[in-house]
Amino acid sequence: MPIRYLVIQAFALSVPVLSLLAQSHDGSIASAADRVAPRMIEYRHTIHRHPELGNREFKTSQLVAEHLKRLGLEVRTGIAHTGVVGLLKGKLPGPVVAVRADMDGLPVTEATDLPFRSTDKGTYQGREVGVAHACGHDLHVAIQLGVASVLSGMRDSLPGTVMFIFQPAEEGVPEGERGGAKMMVEEGVFSNPRPAAVLGMHVDGDPPDQEGDDERLGRASYTPGPAMASATSWKAVIKGRPAHASTPHLSVDPIVVASEVVLALQTIRSRNLDPRVPSVLTVGIIRGGTRHNIIPAEVELEGTIRTFDKAVQDTIETRMREIFDGITKSARATFSLEFNRSHPVTVNDSLLTARLAPTLERVVGKANVRQRPPITGAEDFSYFANEVPGFYFFLGAVPPGKKSGGHHTPTFYADDGAVPIGIRVMTGLVLDFLSAPRS
Ligand SMILES: [Zn+2]
Ligand SMILES: [Zn+2]
């Protein structure tokens, strides 16, 4: 740890200069944010009313591209299917910083009483489903469009370039398709120009819990270092021998074998891994059999693994394979097991975090900023933050007197009031990053 402390102290020297510069633009940012917010809230309502699933964000990306073009940005569309990137080049020399907003909705039927609630339908895994912005990505788009509006009004005094990334399919892609942040990176979104840092924000619309009231409108929270887990999905098939249920001695019963496997998997977390290091292994699907009096030929299992550390990930995968192997062998069954490492760990770069946390505190007030423990949810922002230093934080979006059912639920609620605050915070972060003294 000594190296990290040194870096933070070295940075602290430049903070007074930085905060003087920053405070001088805080007032103008706040009034500009308030000026553009009503239009952005209208955008938010439009997007919320017509949410689109991953890789199908056609109308949303069109709205985004049109707004960015009107502001005079260089706009690229069709990146990773529906992704949009706008480049705002300041008149003064300086670095490049990227900001990212995700655009997709979820296969959830909205059950709020919002006047702009969604009644739209979409197709998910071949079925017709309700579609809703049940994770608040509509706010992310509206806020980032607002940041683009405010900063484009400051172009003459802007030292550097801002890359506005509007990303499809954060929540995942339809089966058999590629997409999201990974695909944007593969398509070279960071190759020209290459940003020096990437910033991301998520609204927090969770119900109040014991951990803290981070969801309260205007609160900001972040986690230095590993902030969100990696996600690896896995699929297994246990093959036995089918028989009539009345003659189990003629079978190799995959249901019994799968049951043993599920219980044995619980010992990886409890017996094989250091209890001080967090991880999750969940079996989400166990599927087998067609009739009460038939022993089936096979059972399918699926689940997810969450970790903050590659070594832990490797241990879990190795132990899973050993457990599947040992138990199926002893029962004379066979198995297949596949892992799909879909999201890396989201890491907040320590230097960048130390550099930007004071901005958060200045803009929303020190008492409204909290460092929170890492969470076992995953974010594909990690693909961007694997390329260049990243900073990702949460912004509370539930005002007193309002209730949210939580992310991904039919009664998820996030308030319009997050729009002007989000614009102020993100614009402040971008300007402080670009204006900081450089070595
Ligand atoms: Zn989500
Ligand atoms: Zn989300």
Q: CA–CA separation, 252 vs 296, rounded Å?
A: 9
Cα of 68 to ligand 2 centre, how many Å?
A: 23
Confidence category of residue 210, pLDDT binned at 50, 70, 90: low
Residue 16 has pLDDT above 50, yes or no: no
Structure confidence by residue, pLDDT tens digits, 347-357: 999 999 999 99
Cα of 302 to ligand 2 centre, how many Å?
A: 23
Q: Tally Cβ neighbours within 10 Å of residue 410.
A: 14
Structure confidence by residue, pLDDT tens digits, 258-287: 999 999 999 999 999 999 999 999 999 999
- Residue 14: the pLDDT is 45
Confidence category of residue 8, pLDDT binned at 50, 70, 90: very low
Average pLDDT over residues 223-233: 96
Structure confidence by residue, pLDDT tens digits, 56-98: 999 999 999 999 999 999 999 999 999 999 999 999 999 999 9
Cα of 48 to ligand 1 centre, how many Å?
A: 14
The percent of residues above 90 in pLDDT, for the chain, comes to 90
What ligand has the least distance to the C-alpha of 408? Answer: 1
Cα of 204 to ligand 1 centre, how many Å?
A: 10
Cα of 226 to ligand 1 centre, how many Å?
A: 19
Query: Which residues lie near ion ligand 2 (Cβ < 5 Å)?
Result: 135
- The pTM assigned to this predicted structure is 0.88
Cα of 355 to ligand 2 centre, how many Å?
A: 25
- Residue 425: the pLDDT is 98
Confidence category of residue 167, pLDDT binned at 50, 70, 90: very high
- Provide the mean pLDDT of the chain: 93
